Amino acid sequence: MGKELTAIGLMSGTSMDGIDIAVVRTDGDTIIERGPSAGYAYDPRFRERLKQGLEDARSIVKREERPGILADLERDLTLRHALAVRTFLEENNILPDNVDVMGFHGQTVLHRPDQALTVQLGDGDLLARETAIDVVYDMRANDMAHGGQGAPLIPAYHAALARGLSKIGEIAAPVVFVNIGGISNLTYIGAGEEIVAYDSGPGNTLMDQWVEAHAGIPYDQGGMIASEGGVLRELADRYLSHPFFSAEKRRSLDRNDFAPPAAADASLEDGARTLAHVTAAGIVRSARHLPASPATYVVCGGGRLNSVIMSDLRALAEAEGARVLAAEAMDLNGDSMEAEAWAYLAVRSRYGLPLTYPGTTGVSRPVSGGRAAAKPARAEIT
């Protein structure tokens, strides 16, 4: 492996709620140290612009196109990331010169793996100029150019984390990492570090859309609304009978692949409760496509904070002989794990190491990826 580098990872996920930042020190293989992390929320007005961006992106045919508001949105999104990075560095007494590279995910506005088309807004060159830090960005495209689904990318980092977990005696294998973001995904770590990963279904996105439309709030904090409702079996079955869950060929999901229920389908509480159940049940159903039944689920992402999702997931997993643990039970950070992954992947990209594998995205062979944007020479920094 290469020498140890200090990397920052930036993640703005499909929930579109803000920017997560984390520091990792790594040689591209072993995680030497996990550093500080933080989250910076988008203001409601900007979130509305992101939603409009999703609509404008529907017409994209070539990934470099920026119809409608997308060009302006890309610049503003990048500048918000730059401000968040500068704030984070100041809060943690870190100098830009002490950061070797930054992994920039950007904001996914379109993901059509069957058309080998994925678009993440984010100007890497602008971010490098604004922060005076080298940037690696656009990390999904090369995977798709080699026949992959372009997602998920976090499994390489999960595998590195699992090597550390294997030293903890009470963790039974196989271990499956579950990330419940806007979309939920699984990473299976089997014998000999076999990695299998794929999206497992809707995560928080349906619930977020439901409560925002019917309660005027961005998400159901802690599952409080869902806890007041009941599961509507017919509505749940409508989602869980979707061919996505039974198809042998796993594929990555776009935010728009599953739509929230119609207003007439449920009350606010019953809708939230049913969608929480769909998230949990979708994870367990999708896990049946793994090489072996999971023994331990380690859950990260915002969905782990929803007590109703976690309760359902524990009950469903225990019925199949598995244990469910939140990331924090393993001394991991369930909020910053994706941002940590993007830092780790940036170092792997710099060293030309694989980001994705046939078992994670369906790519034809292990491939690296990402585009590099160099910080300006010192004389150019004003």
The domain spanning residue 39 has which CATH number? 3.30.420.40
Q: CA 201, CA 243: separation in Å to the nearest integer?
A: 11
Q: Judge whether 165 lies within some domain.
A: yes
> Within this chain, do residues 181 and 121 fall inside the same structural domain, yes or no?
no
Instruction: Report the largest interatomic distance among the alpha carbons of the chain, rounded to a whole angstrom.
Output: 65
> Within this chain, do residues 9 and 34 fall inside the same structural domain, yes or no?
yes
Q: Are strands 135-137 and 101-112 parallel, antiparallel or unpaired?
A: parallel
Could you give the number of structural domains in the chain? 2
> Within this chain, do residues 279 and 318 fall inside the same structural domain, yes or no?
yes
Q: What is the dihedral of CA 166, 169, 174, 176, to 10 degrees?
A: -70
Tallying the residues shown for the chain, one arrives at: 382
Domain of 197? 155-330
Q: Judge whether 52 lies within some domain.
A: yes
Q: Judge whether 360 lies within some domain.
A: no
Q: CA 380, CA 136: separation in Å to the nearest integer?
A: 20
> Within this chain, do residues 98 and 51 fall inside the same structural domain, yes or no?
yes
Q: Judge whether 220 lies within some domain.
A: yes
> Within this chain, do residues 138 and 163 fall inside the same structural domain, yes or no?
no
Q: CA 84, CA 10: separation in Å to the nearest integer?
A: 9
Alpha-carbon Rg for the chain, nearest whole angstrom, is 20
User: Which parts of the chain have pLDDT scores under 70?
Assistant: 1, 166-170, 379-382
* pLDDT score of 379: 46
Q: Take residue 120 and report the two structure tokens written for it.
A: 């993440």
Q: Judge whether 336 lies within some domain.
A: no
> Within this chain, do residues 101 and 175 fall inside the same structural domain, yes or no?
no
Q: Judge whether 14 lies within some domain.
A: yes
> Within this chain, do residues 300 and 374 fall inside the same structural domain, yes or no?
no
Q: Take residue 33 and report the two structure tokens written for it.
A: 């140290």
Q: CA 160, CA 154: separation in Å to the nearest integer?
A: 10
Q: What pTM, to 2 d.p., does this model score?
A: 0.88
> Within this chain, do residues 197 and 224 fall inside the same structural domain, yes or no?
yes
> Within this chain, do residues 196 and 318 fall inside the same structural domain, yes or no?
yes
> Within this chain, do residues 223 and 285 fall inside the same structural domain, yes or no?
yes
Q: Judge whether 341 lies within some domain.
A: no
Q: CA 248, CA 227: separation in Å to the nearest integer?
A: 33
Q: Take residue 106 and report the two structure tokens written for it.
A: 């950007």
> Within this chain, do residues 47 and 185 fall inside the same structural domain, yes or no?
no
* pLDDT score of 382: 46
Q: Judge whether 260 lies within some domain.
A: yes
Contact predicate 211/220, CB 8 Å: yes
* pLDDT score of 2: 81
> Within this chain, do residues 44 and 180 fall inside the same structural domain, yes or no?
no
Q: CA 210, CA 272: separation in Å to the nearest integer?
A: 7
